[in-house]
Amino acid sequence: MYLTTRGLVLREAKYKESDKILTILTETDGKISAKARGVQRTRSKIAAASQLLSFSDFTFFGSRGKWTINEAESLEQFRALRGDIELLALGSYIAELLEAVANENVPEPEILQLGLNALYALSNRLCPPAQVKAAFELRLMSLAGYRPQLDECAGCGRREPESGRLFPEHGELFCPECRAVGGLRMDRSVIDAMRYILDADPRRVFAFRLPEAELRALGGVTEAYALYELDRAFGSLDYYKKLRKDT
């Protein structure tokens, strides 16, 4: 059985002498695992298309759960990321998040498109990396079923409070009068940015502006929210933050 589809390589693992096992988020079949035979050899025709963060046309042979790449042609390699170790680390974190939320053999085109848009924004420096990271984290959580409720205070029902605290365990926002401690503290600029990210057209998710201090605050909230909801650590995130600290 043959399967032809496009997909983004989320993870690669060496296998035997010259092979790799790839985790690929595809357009038609969700997340799949596939063997790339001979891909570590110098003359491999599918090496470029099968590397981490490559978006490629793939033809697989096999059946669900046991795929082997028969042909592959690269469509986008996001080359700028490979020349900047900090951006590559952030791109790897994006891939790791995608792998964490994507389901096997279930098409999730919105999640794939968000990942591609985030990598494109990073590669082409459309906005600060911290902005791409924050917007991607929050929008991905929404697509994965963890959308926070930011339209009103969960305690008193006040519409669009100007500040408050977000409690990840319920995804609820409380105004200062209802909850003065706990949760993730947010001011109006962060709340407004989060509302924009959640509801923006998919092509405009990263198209907003925040001063540096407010962007740091936004990033702190979105990262904490994503890590809480997924209940796990990410090695690529730890590495990215170490690089940021060292620079």
Helix then strand then coil, in percent of the chain rounded to 5, is: 40, 25, 35
Give me 45's structure tokens.
Answer: 């025709």
User: Which residue, chain included where needed, has tokens 């990271």?
Assistant: 133
CA distance 68 to 32: 11
Cβ contact 99:92 at 8 Å: no
At residue 58, φ and ψ (nearest 5 deg) are -120, 145
CA distance 144 to 63: 27
Residue by residue, pLDDT tens for the chain (247 residues) are 889 999 999 999 988 889 999 999 999 999 999 999 998 888 899 999 999 999 999 999 987 678 999 999 999 999 999 999 999 999 999 999 999 999 998 999 999 999 999 999 999 999 999 999 999 999 999 999 999 999 999 999 999 898 999 999 999 999 999 999 999 999 999 999 999 999 999 999 999 999 999 999 999 999 999 999 999 999 999 999 999 887 5
User: What are the CA-CA distances from residue 89 to residues 39, 66, 205, 223 (Å)?
Assistant: 23, 29, 21, 15
Tell how strand 164-167 and strand 184-186 pair up. antiparallel
The pTM of this model reads 0.95
